[in-house]
Structure 1
Amino acid sequence: MTKTFCLLLAALAGAPIAVFAQETAAPPANPITASEKGFYTLVSGEVVAAAEKMPEENYSFKPTPDVRSFGQLVGHVADAQYGMCSIAMGEQSPMMKGIEKTKTTKADLVAALKDAVAYCNKAFSTMTDAQAAQIVQFMNYHVAKITVLSVNTAHTDEHYGNMVTYLRLKGIVPPSSERPSARPAQSSGGER
């Protein structure tokens, strides 16, 4: 009994050492920017997946006459990516023509959306937390650059909600409602 007790005591005494000896993942170098990028990656991936999932013939679909068509919605989201992320990066938007007004086919709109997401991913990958705290003019406000990126994420998510409605009205299950095993790998924002 004493031998068993001593072995048990030794094992329990060594357990905390084993736990502390395990490698822990180092926090990201820029945790604020990395946290926002994580949410943006999820949201932008869902938007791209929704754009890819809607059939071409439904890109002109409007639930009511006074709202954007599905294709216009995709173009609007792409335009907003360029507009907001260029402000956060402190540069002129490379897409001044307006995707919503100039692109009409599914192929062109999906490609433009993917390019816009890649542009915003560049904003995240090149921005440090110190840069994220720098103040810029956004609409009528002076805000931190990370706020502009956060508003872009929220705006993208808001319009994903619109896209879900359009998809459901056409009898299509939106990407976020599919079972994980049925989801295709997301090509723009990374894996879930």
Structure 2
Amino acid sequence: MRPLLRPIVLVLAVAALAASPATGRQLHAQQGFMATMHRDLNDTQKKLVDLANAIPESAYGWRPAPGVRSIGEVLQHIAADNYILPVYMGTPAPAATGITADYGTAVAYETRRGMTKAQIVADLEASFAHLHRAVNVNTDANITENINWFGTQATRLQGMTGTVGHLHEHLGQLIAYARSNNVKPPWSN
């Protein structure tokens, strides 16, 4: 094949694939808003779990000041919110958590005492598995639908951005906590 024809053939092949109804839907699903949210959620989850594993158990009780959550408490808070936030998007928390739409149930869940690092990390991972299943009810097609978000009307989009924003907030917090304990985030150069 002539060198000049290769790019033309490649462009035509890609255009034909994109025009295919099934492939077009797949490309849209991979590139739509929710696909972007899921990629961000996956990345944030990996960083949080990697950081939780990198911090020694002896530092899980460390807190920067009295009255501020410790490392372990922040991780338990993230897990609790990974269970309760989907409740407002229409997916109940697993019954074993005891978490309902009453935020007090999430507070009770996150303030459990006597958990080991292994238990906290396992709970964090289980909460992310639930969160991923739950946010699948949000699609590019229904993202503007209203939901009851903590007693106020909001869109599914606001719920998703609030959920991912919450995770980023606590990732930043835990990075500072880790560095205060001489732990370098595993992904950091």
Same fold (TM over 0.5): yes
What percentage of residue pairs aligned between the two structures are identical?
25
Retained in 2: the 8 A contact 1:82–1:116? Answer: yes
Distance 2:6 2:116 in 1: 64
Q: Secondary structure at the match of 2:170?
A: helix
- For 2:112, the equivalent position in structure 1 comes to 102
Stretches of structure 2 that go unaligned for 5 or more consecutive residues are 100-104
Match of residue 17 from structure 1: 9
Contact 1:135/1:144, CA 8 A, preserved across alignment: yes
Is the partner of 1:66 in helix, strand or coil?
coil
**Which residue number corresponds to residue 126 of structure 2?**
115
TM-score by length of 1: 0.77
**Structure 2 CA distance for partners of 1:57 and 1:13, relative to 1, 3 Å:** closer
Contact 1:33 1:128 in 2 (8 A): yes
Task: Report the Cα offset of residue 146 of structure 1.
Answer: 3.0
Structure 2 residue 46 is matched with structure 1 residue 35: no
Which is greater in Rg?
1
TM-aligned CA deviation for residue 63 of structure 1: 1.4
Shift of 1:177: 1.2
- The 5 A counterparts of 1:69-88 are 69-88=70-89
Q: Which moved more, 1:15-24 or 1:73-82?
A: 15-24
Q: Structure 1: which 5+ runs fail to align?
A: 1-6, 179-192
Letter paired with 1:59: Y
* Residue 186 of structure 2 is aligned to residue 175 of structure 1: yes
What's the CA shift for 1:176? 3.6
Pairs aligned (count): 169
Contact 2:146/2:155 (<8 A) preserved: yes
Amino acid at match of 1:153: V
**In the superposition, relative to structure 1, how do residues 161 and 16 fare at CA in structure 2: closer, same or farther (>3 Å)?**
same
Q: What is the rounded CA distance, in whole Å, between the counterparts of 2:68 and 2:77 in structure 1? A: 12
Residue 128 (str. 1) matches residue 120 (str. 2): no
> Which residue number corresponds to residue 156 of structure 1?
167
Q: Which structure carries more relative contact order (alpha carbon 8 Å, separation 6+)?
A: 1
Instruction: Map Cα deviations across residues 100-122 of structure 1 (whole Å, 9 max, x no partner).
Output: 21153211111111011000110
The answer to whether the Cα contact below 8 Å between 1:33 and 1:146 also exists between their aligned partners in 2 is no
Report the Cα offset of residue 14 of structure 1: 5.5
CA contact 1:85–1:149 (8 Å) conserved in 2: no
So what's the TM-score if we normalise by structure 2?
0.78
